[in-house]
Amino acid sequence: MATRKNELVFCPLGGAGEIGMNLGLYGFGPKGSRKWIIVDLGVAFADATIPGIDVILPDIRFIEEERDNLLGIFLTHAHEDHYGAIVDLWPRLQAPVYATPFSAALLRAKLVDEPGAPEVPIKDVPLGGTVELGPFTIDFVSLTHSIPEPNGLIINTSEGSVFHTGDWKIDSDPLIGEGFNQKMLEALGKRGCRAIICDSTNVFREGVSPTEGEVATVLERLIGDATKRVGVTSFASNVARLRAAILAADKAGRKTILAGRSMFRMIGVGVETGYLADIPPLTPVDQFASLPRDKVMILMTGSQGESRAALARIARDNHPDIRFAPGDQIIFSSRTIPGNEKAVSGLQNALVRNGINILTDADDLVHVSGHPRRGELSQMYGWVKPELAIPVHGESRHLHEHARFAKSLGVPETQIVHNGDMVRLAPGPATLVDEVPAGRIYRDGRIHINEGDDALGERRKLSYAGMIAISLVISAKGEMKTDPDAVIYGIPDELGDGIYIEDIVFDAIDTTWRTLPRPRRKDPDTLAKAIRGGVRSAVSNAWGKKTICEVMVSIVS
Q: Per-10-residue mean pLDDT for the chain, 557 residues long?
A: 80 96 97 96 86 90 97 98 97 98 97 92 98 98 98 98 98 95 98 98 97 98 97 97 98 97 95 96 96 97 92 93 96 90 94 96 97 98 98 97 98 98 98 96 89 84 90 91 93 89 95 92 93 96 93 91
Q: What pLDDT does residue 2 have?
A: 47
Range(s) of the chain covered by CATH 3.40.50.10710:
212-359
Residue 3 confidence (pLDDT): 61
Can you tell me whether residue 59 is helix, strand or coil? coil
Q: What is the CATH number of domain 7-207+369-450?
A: 3.60.15.10
pLDDT of 52: 81
Look at residues 432, 454, 456 and name the one whose alpha carbon lies nearest to residue 444: 456
pLDDT of 464: 86
User: What is the structure's pLDDT at 497?
Assistant: 81
Query: Of 336, 360, 332, 372, which is closest to residue 209 (Cα–Cα)?
Result: 372
Cα dihedral 285, 286, 289, 292, rounded to 10, equals: -60
- Spell out the CATH class of 466-556: alpha beta
Region(s) of the chain under CATH 3.60.15.10: 7-207+369-450
Whether 177 and 148 have beta carbons less than 8 Å apart is answered as yes
Q: What backbone phi and psi angles, to 5 degrees, belong to 71?
A: -90, -30
pLDDT of residue 459: 85
- Position 527 scores a pLDDT of 95
Residues 6+ apart with CB under 8 A from 395: 17, 18, 19
Which residue intervals of the chain bear CATH 3.10.20.580? 466-556
Q: What is the dihedral of CA 386, 390, 396, 400, to 10 degrees?
A: 40
Q: Are the C-beta atoms of residues 532 and 549 closer than 8 Å to each other?
A: yes
Q: Three-class SS string for 328-393?
A: CEEEEECCCCCCCHHHHHHHHHHHHHCCCEEECCCCCCCCCCCCCCHHHHHHHHHHHCEEEEEEEC
Residues 78 and 99: beta-carbon distance below 8 Å = yes
Q: Which residue type is seen at 411?
A: V
Where does 212-359 sit in CATH, by number? 3.40.50.10710
User: Phi, psi at residue 519, to the nearest 5°?
Assistant: -60, -30
C-alpha dist (Å) from residue 213 to 95, 222, 254, 284, 300: 38, 14, 21, 28, 21
